[in-house]
Amino acid sequence: MMDHPGHRKAVRPDDLDGPRVQRDGPIWQIRSLDAARQILRARDRTTQAGFTAEQIPRGIFRRHPILISDGALHDEQRRSLARLFAPSVVAERYTALMESTADEMIAEAVRVGRCRLDDLALHYAVAVTAEVVGLTSSSVPAMSRRLTSFFRQPPFDLARPRLGRTKRQLMRAAYNGLSAVLRFYLADVLPALRDHRRRPRNDVISQLLDQGAGHTDILVECVTYGTAGMVTTREFISMACWHLLEDDLLRARYLAAGQDERLGILHEIIRLEPVVGHLYRRVSEHITVSDEGVEHHLVPGDLVDIDVRGANADPASVGAAPLELCPGRTLPRGVSESGLGFGDGAHRCPGRSLALLETDTLLTRLLAQEPTMVAEPAIGWDDLIAGYRLRGVELRLGPA
């Protein structure tokens, strides 16, 4: 445990304390990490309800995208991805790519003498993940701009009919979403598909083509990897860097540590500051959840709102001082170092090893340049990932 631990930085104004497990009409709110894991591991008894999955038309797909698929199809998709995202594969196949990309981008920032952290993190995450997915036939900065346009949406509430949007908001959401998808398809996905048909590769797009996926299926998968695999990694890199820059002891420890200890520090940061703040499931069969000796019975049709930020700060599972940054904290058997920071159960993030190694590779090189934070980030909140958004961190590189 650290002598002077840091504290959670992204504190949402409407974050509310409440019971560990609470039913509010047809909605269950879960703030217990143990209860959350029981629900997320209730195979074949829940379906994906987050990321507006229930609003996505399914009849147009030959196969449901991995983000919204469940059951046997989801298991098959996860097995296929294992050969691309297994920790040993990520380390062996992509380390050199991450290192060269980070070196090139930081060298340019050093030449200029400063950089904006969220832009650096975005372009880096897009460049690396684009190689893994196969979106390599278009400009990284341009693709970055197109990916961020997916988040220009009016607010919504999954618990309310029509997402709680007015008719005008629904029309604006449809226009913004479809136009963003069309631009991404024409500029990024379609050129990549043409290249892959001429020259197959060992990446996600080639794998989907081998499995007979159509253009629509591949497009939706690329949108998923683009938003979940690139844009969310941007937020985590920015948040981790913010913590390390503001804590001299933690930064010194991070830079002096071996990779395993550095990754442990990053796990603790994402436990404290999960990028995805809520996970949602729809109950399809009866589930009994036990928490601190009390049984709760969930019935088909119930919506479950798992408060990841609350569950990751559950003292019954993560120990004392749950809202403090304490790398190396003692955890009960079976509890991940990152809590639910990468999800759990069947929908646990397949790219967690990639995201952690990406972050570590960039931060070790960036912090070695002795950056100084000229301006702290502005914290915003995004409904799609139910998480924070950090913007405006200006870094000056080199000794003060």
DSSP code, position 368:
T
Q: What is the pLDDT of residue 202?
A: 87
User: Mean pLDDT by 10-residue block, N- to C-terminus, for the chain (400 residues)?
Assistant: 70 81 91 96 85 61 61 68 81 94 96 94 94 92 87 69 74 78 93 94 90 86 80 93 95 96 97 94 94 94 94 95 93 93 86 93 96 91 83 85
Q: What is the pLDDT of residue 179?
A: 87
Q: What is the pLDDT of residue 178?
A: 81
Domains of the chain: residue spans and CATH = 6-396 (1.10.630.10)
- Indicate left, alpha or beta for 319 from its phi (over 0: left) and psi (-120 to 50: alpha): left
Q: What is the pLDDT of residue 226?
A: 79
pTM greater than 0.85 (yes/no): yes
Q: What is the pLDDT of residue 97?
A: 95
H helices present in the chain, as ranges: 33-40, 71-85, 87-112, 117-133, 140-148, 167-184, 190-198, 204-210, 215-224, 232-246, 248-256, 259-272, 308-311, 315-318, 352-367
Q: What is the pLDDT of residue 220?
A: 82
